[in-house]
Structure 1
């Protein structure tokens, strides 16, 4: 058996500029980090070498790769013409909650399948392969940031270019300031699940409008501002940048926010948060708040009964965490 562990991500600024509707016109950029919530995928030989067994939210057993219902499983196994295997996935967080779970699944699957075949793979190569699977082979109308965030891990500034290349740049901060940033972030679950593909497809269409395109460009400028602030170990602007970016994102298209999301967000600002944003494409999931640690007890008291998820930054990206004896022979 081989097991991969792939982190989920939270995006701070620039989201949406990783869509081709934007970066094919001008360079996109996002700033994000991976966190210690993970997708685990295990692979081992199936006792029936002529079949494939898959276990995720449901179980599939098929004779041929083309019979697989799950599109990502199907396309990855087709890439490597791999059968006679049993694949199982489990995640710390449900899908559709804005943490990039679909891309973490794709990255983790590619990593574990390639390891099973004896192929070592860099983070950026995994990101590139995952984009090819999700965007080109499956045809999902999504961007590229989640794949690279999950594959490479850490706190990154990721740029997207019109020639389809991607550059991942590590944000270098003092350890004390990075820990303070982590301590000042709170994540609150507001419930529900969303279809990221539908929301991102609508956002791609919206970017075609000149005013919306300029709004998206302003969101990219915020990503650059945030990068500069963090690399100078300044956190003063973090809450403001999150807040400005969230207001811009909401203006792009309907469905990104809801009445319930707006209610929790405004309540959080009144409770002491300096800014925040709904994570992911929108509609549901987690709100990330920037609230100084010394104000967090009051924040929790005023919010009353919130569903908070504790987390820490992840620095490593997708990893192979277990290789059974059979693969050491």
Structure 2
């Protein structure tokens, strides 16, 4: 991996750099495929089943859950589930039909596909496939085998064909709130419950990880845990090609919960991140052993642990300072996490906040802040309206899910 990267940089050979990232994807996919198995015991147990999941905000450790960093060093993340506009916006519904076929219907993407043969469902790896996520889910859950078999036989054994409806409502693209991975988690959870497959939280996380590798998205593992499980979670993994995720539900004093409910504010920037090579840039700096990147990735994990410590003892002020420090570290990992608009937003409310951080990778989507004591959401909204007037910048309707 590093040999190809160094050669690519020294020789200015894009093909060598591409080979570096191909190796990462190939190794992860090979390890994942080995663990997949066809589940011949699955049976449709209900005519219709719906799963709704919240989103998540990342508080500490983001980027440490991303391959290959987590594979070589392990990762540590602290995040919490949220409602947006009072809703759990990620929804997946499975519905039994008499016809022996599988139908995918994605209302928010406005795509619809019907399959009565198995080969197209077993075909993965096409980044432009509108149903890549749904296919990866059925493969990861063992509903569809990797190769062989007839779809008609599989569906007859299951007890019928089915439609998979999926939708994310009222969440802008590039939000930074973990939408795509949480949608994967909702698909896996819905399939398990629809087909009577018993599972634990750990099973759910592992199967979503498998989905991510089948789709070759290259992303980390924190988002699906953040949305699939309510509350505040401290999530970690040990080094290894196969990431085994340990999730600890963090309990904090009731007074700290109430204080966070009052002081935590989500702000929409009105813009979507445009940098297409974000993941490649961040991974490239890590693989290239850039000192700033290595320091920040190590420090980010420590910051997540310290955040947990401060919240468990009810110190929201201490948590806010750590959030601010995390923002400094995030800019070392990825300079593109900030831009002129984000800096203007933070600057306009500087004297009203004690802590700040972008959501997800940043560069757009949502920002999160911890207000100073005595400052209200309305105060922040008024200030943003004065500065940014008729733009989309504003305070979002957000609630932490404890």
Q: What is the rounded CA distance, in whole Å, between the counterparts of 1:23 and 1:227 in structure 2?
A: 20
Higher strand share: 1
Task: Give the TM-score, by structure 1 length.
Answer: 0.88
* TM-score scaled by length of structure 2: 0.73
Aligned equivalent of 1:22: 69
Change (3 A) 1:232 1:197: farther
Please name the residue that 2:97 is paired with. 46
Written as runs of structure 1 = structure 2, the 5 A alignment for 1:309-320 is 309-315=396-402
Structure 1 position 161, deviation (Å): 1.3
Stretch deviating more after TM superposition (251-260 or 213-222) = 251-260
Stretch deviating more after TM superposition (296-305 or 178-187)? 296-305
Distance 2:335 2:256 in 1: 36
Aligned to 1:327: none
Check whether the contact 1:191–1:284 (CA below 8 A) recurs between aligned residues. yes
Paired residue secondary structure (1:217) = helix
Q: Is the Cα contact below 8 Å between 2:237 and 2:246 reproduced in 1?
A: yes
Taking the aligned partners of 1:114 and 1:197, their CA distance within structure 2 comes to 33
Q: How does 1:257-296 map to 2 (within 5 A)?
A: 257-270=338-351, 272-292=352-372, 294-296=374-376
Taking the aligned partners of 2:227 and 2:202, their CA distance within structure 1 comes to: 10
Q: Which moved more, 1:192-201 or 1:136-145?
A: 192-201
Residues 1:86 and 2:147 aligned together: no
Q: Is the 8 A contact 1:141 1:201 kept in 2?
A: no
Partner of 1:324: none
Question: What is the match of residue 167 of structure 1?
Answer: 246
Which whole-Å CA distance do the structure 1 matches of 2:295 and 2:94 have between them? 45
Unaligned runs of 5+ in 1: 316-329
| Corresponding pairs, count | 313
Q: Is the Cα contact below 8 Å between 1:9 and 1:99 reproduced in 2?
A: yes
8 A Cα contact 1:46 1:53, kept in partner: no
Tell me the equivalent position of 1:190: 269
Check the 8 A contact 2:381/2:395 in 1, yes or no.
Answer: no
Contact 2:104 2:134 in 1 (8 A): no
3-state SS of the aligned residue for 1:246? Answer: helix
Q: Secondary structure at the match of 2:335?
A: coil
Q: Distance in 1 between matches of 2:274 and 2:53?
A: 21
Separation in structure 2 between the aligned mates of residue 15 and residue 196 of structure 1, nearest angstrom? 18
Secondary structure of the 2:175 match is: coil
After TM superposition, give the deviation of residue 197 of structure 1 in Å.
Answer: 7.7
Aligned counterpart, 1:239: 320
- Tell me how far 1:32 sits from its aligned partner: 0.6
Contact residue 30 and residue 157 of structure 1 kept, 8 A: yes
What SS does structure 2 have at the residue aligned with 1:298? helix
Q: Distance in 2 between matches of 1:224 and 1:242?
A: 12
Describe the SS at the equivalent of 1:4. Answer: strand
For structure 2, the 5+ residue unaligned runs are: 1-47, 122-128, 145-153, 156-160
8 Å contact from structure 1 (residues 127, 152) kept in 2: no
Deviation at 1:117, TM superposition (A): 0.7
User: 2:204, 2:397 → 1: CA distance?
Assistant: 28
Select 2:395's aligned residue among 292, 308, 311.
308
Inter-partner Cα distance in structure 2 for 1:252 and 1:129: 28
SS at match of 2:349: helix
> Is the deviation greater in 90-99 or in 150-159?
90-99
Any idea what SS the aligned residue of 1:201 has? helix
1:1-329 equivalence runs, <5 A: 1-37=48-84, 38=88, 39-56=90-107, 57-63=109-115, 64=117, 66-67=119-120, 69=129, 70-78=131-139, 79-81=142-144, 84-92=161-169, 93-134=171-212, 136-163=213-240, 164-194=243-273, 198-208=277-287, 209-270=290-351, 272-292=352-372, 294-296=374-376, 297-304=378-385, 306-315=393-402
Give me the whole-angstrom Cα distance separating, in 2, the residues matched to 1:48 and 1:193. 41
Q: Deviations over 1:156-177 (max 9, x none)?
A: 1111210322111111111221
CA distance in 1, matches of 2:77, 2:103: 38
Whichever of the two has the greater Rg, that structure is 2
Counterpart in 2 of 1:321?
none
